[in-house]
Structure 1
Amino acid sequence: PFPRTDSGKRRPAFVIADLPGADLILCQITSRAHFDGFAVTLDSSDCERGQIDQPCYIRPQRLFSVEHHIILHSVGKVNEAKLDEVMKRAREFFID
């Protein structure tokens, strides 16, 4: 989604897959409320490690890939229940 990775804003993302080699599959995270039936809410209670400043929305329909070196840092890790919810929602786009 970002043709020139050196000129875009820094954006939060949720890692859903660490692929063999140098690539990751991510989905968008936004602080703007989305009630489109796809967004998964995320707040501090969902964090196993780290914390977030405000509630936000993981958007599993907004998938993209990047190489590891693009990632600046990790903010934290979600608990297993939230990871399962995001993965289930993402799979819905590929299963009929």
Structure 2
Amino acid sequence: MLVNKQLQDLGLPPVIVRARNRHVDYYPLLEQYSKHDNHEGMTRLLALLLLESVHKRIALITSRGSSRLQTGRALRACPAMLQPTVPSARRSWPSACGTGG
């Protein structure tokens, strides 16, 4: 929950660690981080989960209607979806999808 709060504060969507994957993917990496201060695996996992979450939000927006008018309405309803709030994202991504509301 703390990670999702931090992502939300940065204008990013929350991530979901599926229950069936927790014991295989998440918990071993969390233990590696806490015992050995090695965050590489956890960073990689959270980045992949964040990308998955962003892709799902983009798919949701574009599936609501194939016309540009409907997509435009969705973006006007939540303009933060296309404005990254993380400074590094502003430099490297032409657009990003945020939670918006």
Structure-2-length-normalised TM-score = 0.28
Greater relative CO, 1 or 2 (CA 8 Å, sep 6+): 2
> Larger % of helix: which?
2
Structure-1-length-normalised TM-score = 0.29
> Larger % of strand: which?
1
